[in-house]
Amino acid sequence: MKIIKVENAAVGSHKAYNLLVQGLQTQARVLGLATGSTPILLYQEMAHSELDFSHITTINLDEYLGLNTNNPQSYHYFMKQHLFKFKSFSKNYLPNGLAPDINQELQRYDQVIADNPIAIQILGIGQNGHIGFNEPGTSFHSQTHCVTLSSSTRAANARFFPNKQAVPQKAISMGLFSIMQSQRIILMAWGKDKAETVSQMINGPITEKCPASILQKHPHTTIILDSAAAAKLN
């Protein structure tokens, strides 16, 4: 792991943007994208840049089950509002949270990932160590799967909904095995609430109790942290 410590999220997001630009200059053609508050500043920089993404394919990590793509809380809607309405891509792939046959949808998404190997995967990290929606206990061998969200994840995401009860209980997520196949990973974490989890991810044992700890085994991962998120590192 390469650890980059920065003053704040704005500086860290700009670092991530520069790494992304470097990747595109070396012929990266498939980007793995995350949602949530962590990558918003990165997407703003991408959206207002002069970069041409028309030859780039994107593959998102996850989507809630049961939400229409026009629902303001869906990740389809999130990506449109923060990036896709500003920039045209060759293709944008996200899981279909309304698929009538979920098992078929999981197989479809695995095929999408197989057909479009991810060059650069953007990640955030949850307070319980999840990446994507891979909650603690998820197998390191997992591919796209249906997830029952933990109470802590639903509580953390409740700020985007009217209340915790409105947060969907299930989601579709790219698996940990699939994430690890990415050629390069850029994980960002901001704020003191992530400090303990970041420490476990970087310095703790590699265990399914902290899904992000598997990144210790990835050959090309960059972790970008603001000072608060890095507070418990040596």
Distances (CA, A) of 71 to 43, 50, 67, 80, 109: 20, 29, 6, 11, 21
> Taking the CB of residue 47, how many other CB atoms lie within 10 A of it?
16
Residue 128 annotated among the catalytic residues of the structure: yes
> Taking the CB of residue 106, how many other CB atoms lie within 10 A of it?
19
What residues have CB less than 8 Å from 118, skipping those under 6 apart? 30, 31, 32, 59, 181, 182, 183
Burial class (CB in 10 A: 0-12, 13-18, 19+), 217: exposed
Residue 110 annotated among the catalytic residues of the structure: no
Residue 234 and residue 194: Cα distance in Å, rounded?
15
Residue 115 annotated among the catalytic residues of the structure: no
Q: Of the residues 130, 134, 208, 218, which is catalytic?
A: 130
Q: In the chain, which ranges are continuous DSSP H helix?
A: 9-25, 40-47, 75-79, 102-115, 151-157, 176-180, 195-203
Q: Of the residues 128, 134, 145, 208, which is catalytic?
A: 128
Q: Of the residues 63, 135, 208, 226, which is catalytic?
A: 135
**3 state DSSP class of 76:** helix
- 224 close to 7: Cβ distance less than 8 angstroms: no
Q: Of the residues 45, 62, 63, 226, which is catalytic?
A: 62
**3 state DSSP class of 51:** coil
Residue 62 annotated among the catalytic residues of the structure: yes
Q: Which residues are known to be catalytic?
A: 62, 128, 130, 135
